[in-house]
């Protein structure tokens, strides 16, 4: 009960909402927060179609609370698109799910098994058993309704995993047959052995209900379990399942893969007027589902959609968005265990559409509106995918550049390393943006949502591309760096502790104390002198800051080094060197040369702990 309340409270506080909202309907928050009797009257006053629209605009976690207030609750449940029904069940507690399952149609029940009980083209028995358990908790009438409508090949595939069937030969006496046939039989013709002891009671009851409501189907099932080859019947069940899902706008995994094929803007397909839907009537089903998303970060998409008033375009966009989201779901998630995974996919789809519009409309909302009215959403998504995949291509060019030791990138500082990691994903659908403020959490990587984010990562990659050969020119290859740790007693012990900033700050320390700009562990006796030479304190300030003369000297040294490789790019140099000096200022903000920090715990540079003249 506590978990249920927490989920519902989180749904009420969420900023996630559908991209379209029917303003003529009551807001779900108004109904949830109103007394039950008042909410019931408001819902009852709405036509059934409006009740369906209201439920579709309500977060999944809260729908059951509104549905049970309707005097047409069962009709309302049956009117929900099967996929919306599925997401609702996934988001609520088993107790709430049982209530809705008892009112579901055979089509909705079949959809649950079609979508959730397959992993690519393989049947997953455990998921089917979980749904069957819930169906029995609802009512046996619900199980009977499912048995009447379930695809026969699917039923055979399921039962072949649960039972073995033996048929009494003609002419063999029943008493004699009982000596060698399994003991369980309903008709003295088919004798059944149960494969899973734990689920024997459930399996028995399925068979008993089936023979009661449809004896002919029971006989067909028994014969099929005896004679059908498991692989063949499962393949046939999969084909029928694939066809049914396609009817609901859900492609299979292999068909959905093309959604991640990059597309050039000049190859986008225009919408033909004949493609627009006819006027809806009472029999017109709503879209498969309406993804609810976070609107933060997708402003141009939201604003452009809000300006579209042609109901034909709105209806087309709703259906295309459902189709597109389903394709991405099939590729990114496949088997859906957590509705949060689905929500992340919906946000990803909205983000990619937003990027496509920003790129093609150059930030102009009216131009974005025209693009939405003119082109398929999937093509906009694929244009954005092209921009994102191009980041990976660029990153791979950087890390495989001729003459560069690829091991150098193992020592990148954060956040550079994670920005590179995010776009180096092996699979094109896993390329993500690193979010520094979320570092160390489950949200440190997320899909791109704005064109500015792509531009930012490209700038960071450009900086890495410029600095990598410079770092190698200045300090050599990683084996030379690691020798300093291996051959000396130093404060840093692991190879991963050596970062590009470590090389720069250690070389700077040697320059300031010994006039040698090279990566070599700083002698511990020079540690206080380094602090004295690099830092100053401004009047009225308690924190150390790097001296301006040191900043200028470090930049000039690197500009001279960079000029040996080509024209210096001062922006890249200044950005990275300021980053290195900022790390020093942060770690040694309050350090005093007269009482320096224990060098054993210093992280920003490499220090040789054994004084010169003494053995390790």
Q: pLDDT tier at 11 (50, 70, 90 boundaries)?
A: low
Q: Which residue from 201, 71, 224 is spatially nearest to 140, judged by alpha carbons?
A: 201
pLDDT at 614: 56
pLDDT at 285: 59
* Residue 529 reports pLDDT greater than 50: yes
Q: pLDDT tier at 1 (50, 70, 90 boundaries)?
A: very low
Percent of the residues in the chain that have a pLDDT greater than 70, as a whole number? 93
Q: What pLDDT digit, counting tens, does each position of 501-514 carry?
A: 999 999 999 999 99
* Residue 287 reports pLDDT greater than 70: no
Task: Report the C-alpha gap between 439 and 441 in whole angstroms.
Answer: 6
Q: What pLDDT digit, counting tens, does each position of 89-122 carry?
A: 998 888 889 999 999 999 999 999 999 999 888 9
* Residue 347 reports pLDDT greater than 50: yes
Percent of the residues in the chain that have a pLDDT greater than 90, as a whole number? 73
Cα distances (angstroms) measured from residue 471 to each of 139, 405, 494, 520, 576? 70, 11, 20, 14, 11
Task: Report the C-alpha gap between 603 and 73 in whole angstroms.
Answer: 64
Mean pLDDT in the chain? 91
Task: Report the C-alpha gap between 345 and 352 in whole angstroms.
Answer: 11
What does the longest C-alpha to C-alpha distance in the chain come to?
109
| DSSP three-state, residue 613 | coil
Q: What is the DSSP string of 169-235?
A: PTT--HHHHHTTS-SEESSSSEEEEES-GGGHHHHHHHHHHHHHH-HHHHHHHHHHHHHS-HHHHHH
Q: What pLDDT digit, counting tens, does each position of 456-496 carry?
A: 999 999 999 999 999 999 999 999 999 999 999 999 999 99
Can the peptide bond before residue 318 be classed as cis, meaning omega within 30 degrees of 0? no
* Residue 590 reports pLDDT greater than 80: yes
pLDDT at 616: 45
* Residue 37 reports pLDDT greater than 70: yes
Over residues 587-604, the mean pLDDT reads 94
Q: Are 228 and 158 in contact, with CB atoms under 8 Å apart?
A: no
Confidence (pTM): 0.86
pLDDT at 2: 53
Q: Are 415 and 434 in contact, with CB atoms under 8 Å apart?
A: yes
| DSSP three-state, residue 23 | coil
Q: pLDDT tier at 24 (50, 70, 90 boundaries)?
A: confident
Burial 331-361, CB ≥16 within 10 A → b, else e? bbeeebeebeebbbbbbbbbbbbbbbbbbbb
Task: Report the C-alpha gap between 29 and 12 in whole angstroms.
Answer: 7
- What are the extents of the domains in the chain? 1-104, 387-469, 476-608
Q: Which two three-digit tokens encode residue 582?
A: 């900022």
Over residues 596-605, the mean pLDDT reads 95
Q: Which residue from 106, 169, 97, 80 is spatially nearest to 133, judged by alpha carbons?
A: 97
Task: Report the C-alpha gap between 132 and 127 in whole angstroms.
Answer: 9
Phi first, then psi: what are they for 58, rounded to 5°?
-95, 140
Q: Which residue from 601, 583, 608, 580 is spatially nearest to 471, judged by alpha carbons?
A: 580
Eight-class DSSP state of 343: H
pLDDT at 292: 67
Task: Report the C-alpha gap between 494 and 410 in whole angstroms.
Answer: 12
């Amino acid at each position: 009960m506590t978990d249920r309340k927490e989920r519902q409270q989180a749904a009420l506080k969420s900023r996630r909402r559908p991209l379209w909202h029917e303003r003529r309907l009551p807001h779900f928050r108004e109904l949830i927060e109103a007394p039950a009797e008042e909410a019931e009257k408001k819902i009852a006053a709405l036509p059934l179609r409006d009740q369906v629209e209201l439920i579709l605009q309500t977060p999944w976690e809260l729908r059951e609370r509104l549905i049970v207030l309707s005097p047409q609750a069962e009709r309302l449940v049956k009117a929900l698109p099967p996929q919306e029904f599925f997401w609702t069940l996934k988001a609520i507690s088993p107790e709430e799910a049982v209530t809705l399952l008892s009112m579901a149609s055979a089509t909705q029940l079949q959809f649950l098994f079609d979508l959730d009980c397959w992993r690519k083209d393989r049947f997953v028995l455990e998921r089917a058993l979980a749904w069957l358990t819930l169906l029995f908790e609802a009512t046996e009438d619900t199980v009977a309704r499912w048995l009447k409508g379930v695809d026969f090949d699917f039923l055979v595939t399921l039962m072949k995993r649960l039972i073995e069937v033996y048929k009494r030969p003609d002419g063999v006496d029943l008493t004699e047959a009982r000596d060698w046939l399994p003991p369980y039989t309903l008709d003295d013709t088919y004798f059944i052995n149960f494969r899973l002891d734990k689920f024997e009671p459930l399996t028995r009851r399925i068979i008993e209900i089936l023979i009661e409501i449809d004896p002919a189907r029971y006989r067909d099932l028994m014969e099929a379990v005896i004679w059908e080859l498991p692989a063949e019947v499962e393949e046939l069940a999969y084909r029928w399942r694939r066809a049914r899902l396609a009817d609901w706008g859900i492609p299979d995994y292999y068909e959905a893969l093309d959604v991640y094929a990059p597309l050039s803007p000049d190859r986008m397909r225009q919408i033909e007027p004949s493609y627009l839907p006819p006027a809806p009537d009472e029999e017109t089903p709503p879209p498969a589902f309406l993804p609810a998303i976070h609107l933060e970060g997708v402003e141009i998409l939201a604003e452009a959609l809000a300006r579209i008033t042609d109901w034909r375009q709105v209806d087309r966009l709703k259906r295309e968005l459902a189709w597109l989201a389903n394709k991405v779901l099939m590729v990114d998630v496949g088997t859906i265990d957590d509705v949060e995974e689905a929500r992340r996919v919906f946000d990803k789809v909205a983000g990619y559409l937003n990027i496509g519009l920003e790129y093609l409309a150059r930030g102009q909302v009216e131009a974005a509106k025209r693009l939405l009215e003119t082109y398929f959403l999937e093509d906009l998504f694929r244009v954005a995918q092209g921009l994102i995949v191009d980041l990976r291509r660029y990153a791979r060019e950087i890390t495989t550049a001729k003459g560069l030791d690829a091991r150098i990138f193992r020592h990148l500082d954060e956040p550079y390393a994670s920005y590179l990691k995010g776009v180096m994903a092996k699979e094109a659908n896993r390329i993500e943006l690193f979010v520094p403020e979320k570092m160390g959490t489950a949200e440190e990587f997320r899909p791109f949502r704005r064109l500015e984010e792509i531009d930012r990562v490209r700038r960071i990659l450009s900086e890495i591309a410029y600095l990598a050969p410079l770092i190698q020119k200045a300090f050599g290859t990683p084996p030379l760096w690691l020798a300093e740790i291996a051959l000396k007693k130093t404060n840093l012990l692991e190879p991963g502790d050596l970062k590009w900033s470590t090389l720069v700050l250690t070389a700077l320390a040697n320059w300031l104390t010994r006039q040698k700009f090279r990566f070599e562990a700083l002698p511990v006796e020079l540690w206080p002198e380094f602090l004295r030479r690099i830092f100053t304190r401004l009047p009225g300030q308690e924190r150390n800051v790097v001296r301006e003369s040191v900043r200028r000297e470090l930049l000039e040294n690197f500009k001279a080094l960079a000029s040996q490789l080509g024209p210096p790019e001062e922006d890249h140099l200044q950005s990275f060197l300021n980053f290195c000096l900022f790390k020093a200022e942060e770690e040694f903000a309050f350090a005093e040369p007269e009482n320096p920090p224990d060098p054993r715990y210093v992280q920003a540079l490499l220090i040789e702990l054994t004084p010169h003249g003494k053995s390790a």
